[in-house]
C-alpha cells in the first residue's frame, strides 16, 4: 500500500470513529476518545486530565489500561509542574517524554519501557486539559500514530461543556434531562447525583442523596434479583475498566443495558432501557433457533433417507423428521402404476380412507392427478379452498380429518412417479419459505422413494427365490415331527446359502439335512439350490450318509476352487430308534433325550465340502422315544463377539429352557415344536437380525416303531418261500385289520420273493412295517440291483418288476450291510 493510501485509510478510520462518538457527552465522551486514542497509537494505556475550576491543578477525569495504584499517583498533578500533561497544557503543544525521564523528574513510575505522549485539549475558551497516551516503545508513537492522537484530541476539545472549567451546572442540567438513567457515586459508595430517569429506578433524589448504593439496593431487593451487581460495581472501580452488561430491573421488570464507568471520585452508572430491543433480539433468537432446529431436522431427514432401504423405512423417516418441523399431522405416499393410484405408505390416516383412495384412476380430477400431470406442487390452505377446486371430492377432507394440504410431485429422472401428500389437522397457509423448502425436499423424497420401491421389488423377488429354494412345507411323518426356521443376514437382499430338508426314505426312515454354502447372496443361493437337488437325488438312491457326502463333495469340487459348503446328513431309522449321521465341516447336532440334559455327540469333524478328502466319518446315536434332534448352521451359534464353543453352550441353555417351558407332551407336539423354534431363536438372536451370516434351525422329535407295527420272517430257499411269504402277509394283515390290502400285498411279496429265488442268493428275509404306508421288504445277500425290463410278446418272463411298479405306490432298492433290500409301499386305507 502506498504512503498516500495509508494516509487516506487512516483519515477514513478517524472519520468513522468521530462520527460514532458524535452523540456522546460528558464522561462517556472522555472514555470513548481515550479508548480510541490508545488503540490508534498502539499504546499500553492513557489518561485525560482536566483543569480544576477550583484552581487545584489538573484532575484525572478518565483513565484507560492503568492499574488503580498507578492511576492514583496521577489523580491530581500540579499544572505548573514538570509532568508531560502539565507542560503540554502550559505550552499548548504536544509533549513526548520517555518513561525514565518521567520517573527522574516526578518520581512517578510508569509501566513498560516506553514513554508518555501528552496532547493539549484546546477549546475555544482556552486549554481545558491534556490527553496522554502511554507508548509501548521508547521511540514513541510513529508520525501516523501521533497524528491520530492529536486529531482525536482536537476533535474532543470543543465538544461538550463538561470539558470547560466553568460548566458544571450545564452538565448537571444535561444529565438530569438525559433519556437514559444516570447516577453517580463517590468513593464511599454514597449517591451524589440522580437524574430523572434514575429516580424511576431508585426513588426520589431527595431521599437518595447521601445514602449508600447498597442501602438503596436493599430497599428495592435488587440484590435478590441480581446478586452479582454489587460485585460488578466493585470490580469496575478496582480495575478502572468500564463494564457493560444487561439485567432485568426488579421493580418494573424491564431490561436495561448497564454501563459502569469508574471516575477519579467514584463511579458513574448509566442504564439504558433496552426492553423493546431485547424483545426483538429474543424473537430473532427464537426464529434463529427454529430455523436451526428445522435445518437440523432436514439434515437428519437427509441422513435417514440415505440409510433407508425399504418403503416402510422411507415413510417412517419422513413421518419422524419432516412432519414435526412443519406441524403436519398426516402423510400419504401415492405412486402411479399404469392408470391407477396406489398407496405406498401412509401415516395419520384411517385405514378405511386409504382403502378408498387405493386404486383410484389417475385420470379423475384430483389434486394428485393435477400434480402428476403438471409436475408442479399444489398448496391448499383450507377445506373451503379444497372443495372449491375439487367439488366432486368434497367428502374427502371430512373423511380424512384434515384441513390443509401440500401436494408435492415425486420427480425422478425427469418423470413424475407419484405424489407425496403432507396434510395438517388445522388451516395452514404455508409461507413462501416453507413452500420453497418443501418443493426442494420433494426431489430428495422422490429419489428415496424410487430407490426404496426398486429395493422392495428386488427384495420380494429375492424372497420368492429363497422360498422356492427352501422346502415350502415339511412332510408330515409318523417317524419324526419337524419344525424349521430360516433367518437371512441383516444386510443384503435376504437370500443366502443356508438350507435344510426333511426327506422320507424307505422303511419309514427319514433323512434330516442341513447345510451352509459359504457366503451370502444370489450366487450362494443358486449353489445351495443345486446342492439341495443333488442331496434329494442321492437320498433317493439310498446312499448311506458317508457315501452321500463323498458324492456331494465331488459335485462341490467341480464348481470351482472358491466354492465351499458345510453339510450334516443324518438318517433316522425308527425300527431300532437310531440315527446315523456324517458331517462335512458342520457343527454336530444337539440331542435332547426325554428328561435328560442337552448333549452334543462326540465326533471328529471333517473339512467342508470342496476341501474334504473322503472317506467321511459316520457316527451313530440312539434316540429314545420322544427325543429331540436339533440341527443348525453356524450363523446361529457363531458371531463376531462369540466363538462357536460359547455359541453351542448358549444353544444348550436355550434348548433346556425352551423345552422345560414348552411342556412337550403327547398331544399338540408339532405346534410345540414351532414354539420351541421361536423360543430358541428369541434367546440366541433376540433382535431377529444377524450381522453378516444367515442362520437355519431344524428341530425333529423322533418316534420309534413299536413291536406291534413291525414283523420279520426268515424264508426258506426254494419255491416254497413264495407261498410262505403270502401266508405270512395274509395272516399279519388280518391281525392289523388291513384285509383290503391283502390281495395286492400278496402279489407284490410273491413277485419279490420269486425274483430273489431266481436271481439272488439266500438267506431271504421278509419284513412288514405299518407306518404312514404299508411297507413290504424282501432282503437277500446279493448286491445285484434289479432293473425293469421291457419284455417282448414272446418272452415268458421279465414282467415281474413291471407288475410291482404298477401295483405299488412306490418301490425301490437299498443296500444293507448283508446285501440288498427291495421294498414296496402301499397307501393305507
pLDDT, tens digit (0-9, with 9 covering 90-100), for 34-67: 999 998 888 888 999 888 655 657 888 888 887 7
Cβ-contact 667, 675 below 8 angstroms? no
- C-alpha to C-alpha distance for 44 and 113, rounded to whole angstroms: 11
Which of 162-176, 350-364, 542-556, 800-814 is the most confident on average?
Answer: 542-556
- Give pLDDT tens digits for 177-194: 677 888 888 888 888 888
- C-alpha to C-alpha distance for 429 and 424, rounded to whole angstroms: 10
Asked if pLDDT for residue 528 goes beyond 50, the answer is yes
Cβ-contact 676, 658 below 8 angstroms? yes
Average pLDDT of the chain, as a whole number: 84
Cβ-contact 624, 577 below 8 angstroms? yes
Asked if pLDDT for residue 532 goes beyond 70, the answer is yes
Burial class (CB in 10 A: 0-12, 13-18, 19+), 568: buried
Superfamily of 177-273 according to CATH = PAS domain (3.30.450.20)
- C-alpha to C-alpha distance for 557 and 240, rounded to whole angstroms: 91
Cβ-contact 94, 150 below 8 angstroms? yes
Single pTM value for the model = 0.57
Quick check: do 177-273 and 289-461 share a fold? yes
Lowest model confidence (mean pLDDT) among 302-311, 509-518, 588-597: 302-311
- C-alpha to C-alpha distance for 343 and 334, rounded to whole angstroms: 5
Number of H helices, E strands in the chain: 28, 30
Angle between helices 3-20 and 143-156 (to 10 degrees): 30
Strands (E) located in 733-795: 764-770, 773-780
- CATH architecture under which domain 707-827 falls: 2-Layer Sandwich (3.30)
Q: In what order do the strands lie in the sheet with 695-702?
A: 480-487, 695-702, 628-632, 590-592
Give the residue extent of every domain in the chain.
3-163, 177-273, 289-461, 471-702, 707-827
CATH top class, domain 471-702: alpha beta
pLDDT at 166: 34
Tell me the pLDDT band of 689, cut-offs 50, 70 and 90.
low
| Stretch 672-691: mean pLDDT | 80
Superfamily of 3-163 according to CATH = GAF domain (3.30.450.40)
CATH number of 289-461: 3.30.450.40
Lowest model confidence (mean pLDDT) among 52-56, 188-192, 234-238, 715-719: 52-56
pLDDT at 667: 44
Amino acid at each position: 500500500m502506498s504512503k498516500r493510501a495509508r494516509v487516506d485509510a487512516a483519515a477514513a478510520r478517524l472519520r468513522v470513529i468521530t462520527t460514532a462518538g458524535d452523540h456522546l457527552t460528558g464522561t462517556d465522551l472522555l472514555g470513548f476518545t481515550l479508548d480510541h486514542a490508545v488503540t490508534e497509537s498502539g499504546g499500553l494505556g492513557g489518561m485525560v486530565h482536566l483543569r480544576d475550576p477550583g484552581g487545584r491543578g489538573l484532575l484525572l477525569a478518565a483513565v484507560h489500561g492503568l492499574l488503580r495504584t498507578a492511576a492514583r499517583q496521577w489523580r491530581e498533578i500540579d499544572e505548573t509542574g514538570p509532568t508531560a500533561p502539565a507542560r503540554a497544557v502550559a505550552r499548548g503543544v504536544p509533549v513526548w517524554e520517555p518513561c525514565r525521564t518521567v520517573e527522574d523528574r516526578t518520581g512517578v513510575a510508569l509501566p513498560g519501557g516506553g514513554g508518555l505522549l501528552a496532547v493539549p485539549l484546546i477549546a475555544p475558551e482556552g486549554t481545558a486539559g491534556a490527553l496522554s497516551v502511554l507508548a509501548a516503545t521508547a521511540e514513541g508513537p510513529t508520525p501516523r500514530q501521533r497524528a491520530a492522537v492529536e486529531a482525536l484530541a482536537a476533535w474532543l476539545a470543543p465538544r461538550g461543556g463538561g470539558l470547560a472549567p466553568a460548566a458544571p451546572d450545564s452538565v448537571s442540567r444535561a444529565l438530569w434531562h438525559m433519556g437514559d438513567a444516570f447516577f453517580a457515586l463517590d468513593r464511599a459508595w454514597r449517591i451524589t447525583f440522580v437524574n430523572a430517569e434514575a429516580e424511576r429506578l431508585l426513588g426520589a433524589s431527595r431521599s437518595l442523596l447521601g445514602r449508600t448504593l447498597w442501602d438503596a439496593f436493599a430497599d428495592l431487593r435488587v440484590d435478590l434479583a441480581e446478586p452479582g451487581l454489587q460485585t460488578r460495581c466493585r470490580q469496575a472501580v478496582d480495575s478502572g475498566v468500564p463494564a457493560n452488561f444487561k439485567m432485568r430491573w426488579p421493580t418494573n421488570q424491564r431490561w436495561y443495558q448497564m454501563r459502569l464507568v469508574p471516575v477519579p471520585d467514584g463511579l458513574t452508572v448509566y442504564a439504558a432501557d433496552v426492553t423493546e430491543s431485547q424483545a426483538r433480539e429474543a424473537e430473532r433468537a427464537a426464529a434463529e433457533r427454529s430455523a436451526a432446529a428445522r435445518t437440523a431436522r432436514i439434515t437428519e431427514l437427509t441422513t435417514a433417507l440415505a440409510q433407508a432401504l425399504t418403503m416402510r423405512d422411507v415413510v417412517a423417516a419422513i413421518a419422524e423428521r419432516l412432519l414435526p418441523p412443519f406441524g403436519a399431522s398426516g402423510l400419504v405416499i401415492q405412486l402411479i402404476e399404469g392408470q391407477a393410484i396406489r398407496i405406498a405408505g401412509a401415516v395419520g390416516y384411517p385405514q378405511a380412507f386409504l382403502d378408498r383412495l387405493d386404486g383410484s384412476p389417475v385420470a379423475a380430477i384430483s389434486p394428485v392427478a393435477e400434480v402428476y400431470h403438471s409436475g408442479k406442487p399444489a398448496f391448499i390452505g383450507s377445506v373451503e379452498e379444497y372443495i372449491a377446486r375439487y367439488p366432486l371430492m368434497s367428502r374427502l377432507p371430512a373423511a380424512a380429518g384434515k384441513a390443509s394440504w401440500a401436494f408435492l410431485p415425486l420427480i425422478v429422472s425427469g418423470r413424475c412417479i407419484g405424489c407425496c401428500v403432507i396434510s395438517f389437522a388445522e388451516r395452514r397457509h404455508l409461507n413462501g419459505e416453507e413452500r420453497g423448502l418443501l418443493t426442494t425436499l420433494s426431489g430428495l423424497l422422490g429419489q428415496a422413494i424410487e430407490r426404496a420401491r426398486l429395493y422392495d421389488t428386488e427384495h420380494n423377488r429375492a424372497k420368492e427365490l429363497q422360498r422356492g429354494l427352501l422346502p415350502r412345507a415339511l412332510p408330515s411323518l409318523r417317524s419324526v415331527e419337524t419344525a424349521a426356521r430360516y433367518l437371512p443376514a441383516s444386510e443384503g437382499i435376504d437370500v443366502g446359502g443356508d438350507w435344510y430338508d426333511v426327506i422320507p426314505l424307505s422303511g419309514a426312515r427319514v433323512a434330516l439335512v442341513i447345510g451352509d454354502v459359504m457366503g451370502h447372496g444370489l450366487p450362494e443361493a443358486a449353489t445351495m439350490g443345486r446342492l439341495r437337488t443333488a442331496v434329494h437325488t442321492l437320498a433317493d438312491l439310498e446312499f448311506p450318509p458317508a457315501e452321500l457326502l463323498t458324492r456331494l463333495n465331488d459335485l462341490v469340487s467341480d464348481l470351482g476352487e472358491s466354492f465351499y459348503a458345510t453339510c450334516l446328513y443324518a438318517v433316522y431309522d425308527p425300527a431300532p430308534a437310531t440315527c446315523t449321521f456324517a458331517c462335512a465341516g458342520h457343527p454336530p447336532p444337539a440331542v435332547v433325550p426325554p428328561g435328560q440334559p442337552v448333549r452334543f455327540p462326540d465326533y471328529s469333524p471333517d473339512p467342508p465340502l470342496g476341501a474334504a478328502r473322503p472317506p467321511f466319518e459316520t457316527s451313530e446315536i440312539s434316540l429314545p422315544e420322544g427325543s429331540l434332534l436339533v440341527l443348525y448352521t453356524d450363523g446361529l451359534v457363531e458371531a463376531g463377539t462369540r466363538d462357536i464353543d460359547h455359541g453351542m453352550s448358549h444353544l444348550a441353555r436355550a434348548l433346556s429352557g425352551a423345552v422345560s417351558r414348552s411342556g412337550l407332551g403327547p398331544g399338540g407336539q408339532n405346534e410345540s415344536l414351532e414354539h420351541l423354534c421361536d423360543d430358541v431363536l428369541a434367546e440366541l438372536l433376540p433382535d431377529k437380525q444377524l450381522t453378516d451370516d444367515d442362520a437355519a434351525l431344524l428341530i425333529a422329535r423322533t418316534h420309534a416303531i413299536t413291536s406291534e407295527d413291525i414283523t420279520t420272517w426268515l424264508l426258506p430257499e426254494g419255491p416254497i418261500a413264495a407261498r410262505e411269504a403270502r401266508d405270512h402277509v395274509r395272516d399279519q394283515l388280518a391281525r392289523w385289520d388291513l384285509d383290503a390290502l391283502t390281495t395286492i400285498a400278496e402279489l407284490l411279496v410273491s413277485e419279490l420273493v420269486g425274483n430273489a429265488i431266481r436271481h439272488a442268493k439266500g438267506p431271504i428275509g421278509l419284513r412288514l412295517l405299518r407306518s404312514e404306508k404299508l411297507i413290504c421288504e424282501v432282503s437277500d445277500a446279493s448286491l445285484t440291483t434289479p432293473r425293469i425290463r421291457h419284455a417282448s410278446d414272446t418272452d415268458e418272463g421279465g414282467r415281474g418288476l413291471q407288475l410291482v411298479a404298477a401295483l405299488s405306490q412306490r418301490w425301490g432298492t437299498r443296500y444293507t450291510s448283508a446285501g440288498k433290500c427291495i421294498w414296496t409301499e402301499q397307501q393305507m386305507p
